[in-house]
């Protein structure tokens, strides 16, 4: 999906308490270091955790890597997100399919809506792979998520730099 640098990116997983809030903070920090001014947010396709802070394990592992996600609050993706963001990145194939259903139901012109992509799409290491949901896993699962998110965030930023 080679495209110009977006001014806004939304990161989406299922519940918005593990992967996407972690990705929000990592992506925000990496974009700032790269000198990219962009709005970064996260949301979930599901509504189970609206208003909740990220999972305690996600917070703990993120903090150990220098990312503070404790003040973020889960929210559900909505149709306005497709109008207010340039790019929406899904953590896995099911999230991407769910987002596509919402986008397809909208009457706006395709060009006026956010582009959709898999979060790992630009990553030479994890390209096309899902970022696995660590919710049912152990500490190693949360560490793997951070590693993959750091890698894929950097890959997106590099793809915009070389464009």
The residues assigned a catalytic role are 13, 19, 133
Distance, CA of 143 to CA of 137 (rounded, Å): 10
Burial of 69 (0-12, 13-18, 19+ CB in 10 A): buried
Handedness of CA 95, 10, 155, 150 (dihedral sign): negative
Beta strands in 96-145 (DSSP E): 115-118
């Amino acid at each position: 999906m080679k495209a110009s640098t977006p001014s806004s990116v939304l990161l989406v997983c299922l519940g918005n308490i593990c992967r996407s809030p972690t990705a929000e903070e990592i992506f925000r920090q990496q974009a700032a270091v790269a000198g990219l001014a962009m709005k970064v947010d996260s949301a979930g396709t599901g509504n189970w955790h609206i208003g909740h802070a990220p999972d305690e394990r996600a917070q703990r592992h993120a903090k150990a890597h220098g990312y503070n996600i404790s003040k973020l609050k889960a929210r559900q993706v909505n149709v306005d997100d497709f109008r207010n963001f340039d790019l929406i990145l899904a953590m896995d194939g099911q999230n991407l399919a769910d987002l596509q259903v919402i986008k397809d139901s909208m009457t706006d012109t395709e060009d006026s809506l956010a582009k959709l992509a898999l979060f790992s799409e630009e990553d030479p290491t994890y390209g096309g792979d899902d970022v696995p949901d660590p919710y049912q896993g152990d500490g190693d699962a949360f560490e793997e998520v951070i590693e993959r998110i750091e890698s894929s965030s950097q890959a997106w930023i590099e793809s915009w730099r070389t464009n």
